[in-house]
Structure 1
């Protein structure tokens, strides 16, 4: 009997034993409910025609083009990027940002938003590139998020670059873990949308 008990104990210590090695469910996140700016842009005069704006899909570097939530340990190895094992985005950050950006531009400006160039011809094209979207740990218990995005506004017919701007946001996380990263990154994306839409409204020609 003792030998049987010992044998069962050894088996249950192996990685495949589900009794002692239960898999943790994966937590899936998005950016949450986006809050529009408190003061909406004033309506344009009726004689000003609306521009049609093609909002291209936001792009991202290869390392960021996934559903993983990235973080760095600056106090340990600042050149190495890690990802949380049991936490991920519901879609890539670039895809999430694209949808939020189109919705915000349509809701907050007078522009006609186009998401597919095959649907209609656009007057201008907005390109956005997500350059950084991660959490960094200065110490084991102190972290912040870093977000970087480049926006380029192009006149479609002439292919002339009308304007380009880099947006950068750094903010403390409410907790030094995946949940804290998601909360801070969601708030940062909302702030980024507000800044980008305001820049766009001031940059687009009004004729």
Structure 2
């Protein structure tokens, strides 16, 4: 009985995440400046495109109470992204990847399907951000190679601010994973060079 009461209390308190005080300003976040460099000499990439799942086509910062309502997606009421996550990720990756590319013609298109970006609470005091993508290298319309990547990073605090910092870490880890994947696929560089 006590456990059921505690669960009801926690769910009720979590509703406060969705109802800010009337005078509370909405915080707007982005992914920050990219860190590190894209490795030179791999597959030439001439364009980066990110397409997002329909539920990520808004500026809401999403979370899920995995321990209480695992089938319910919520959004923080007082915290938003400055643009839909797919747009933020596309601009961020362009800033990382495109300056490292050789001049001239040729190169593949990197098309990323953003399938998931949410903060998952495993308890009232612990959460992680999960970022899931499907990355495709295309020569014209022909698929050269593809890879599914899922990254989870713990949030330093169990709130939207912790989720923003964990998202930043997850996006940086995604760039590193993409760079490693491209490096592993160097034998395909000739296909991209002639596109």
Q: Which band: TM-score by shorter chain? A: 0.7 to 0.9
4+ long deviations beyond 6 Å = none
Q: Secondary structure of 2:33's partner?
A: coil
Mean Cα deviation higher: 28-37 or 170-179: 28-37
* 2:85 corresponds to 1:93: yes
Q: Distance in 1 between matches of 2:135 and 2:26?
A: 33
Long gaps (5+) in structure 2: 1-20
| CA deviation after TM superposition for structure 1 residue 22, in Å | 4.2
Question: What is the CA RMSD across the aligned residues, in angstroms?
Answer: 2.3
Out of 164, 169, 180, which is 1:198 matched to? Answer: 180
Contact 1:52 1:123 in 2 (8 A): yes
Q: What 5-or-longer segments of structure 1 have no aligned partner?
A: 1-20, 45-49, 114-120
| C-alpha distance in structure 2 between counterparts of 1:24 and 1:111, whole Å | 47
Q: 2 CA distance for matches of 1:127 and 1:43?
A: 20
Structure 1 residue 35, shift from structure 2 partner: 0.8
1: CA distance, partners of 2:171 / 2:69? 27
Look up the match of 1:14: none
Name the counterpart of 1:68: 60
1:106 and 1:63 mapped to 2: Cα distance? 28
Matches within 5 A, 1:120-159: 123-156=107-140, 159=141
User: Counterpart of 2:48?
Assistant: 55
Question: How far does residue 112 in structure 1 lie from its aligned partner after superposition?
Answer: 4.9
Mapped partners of 1:193, 1:123: distance in 2: 18
Q: Deviations over 1:131-156 (max 9, x none)?
A: 11000111111111111011011111
Give the structure 2 partner of residue 29 of structure 1. 29
Cα distance in 2, alignment partners of residues 22 and 162 from structure 1: 51
How many pairs are equivalent? 169
**Higher percent of residues as helix:** 2
TM-score, normalisation: structure 2: 0.78
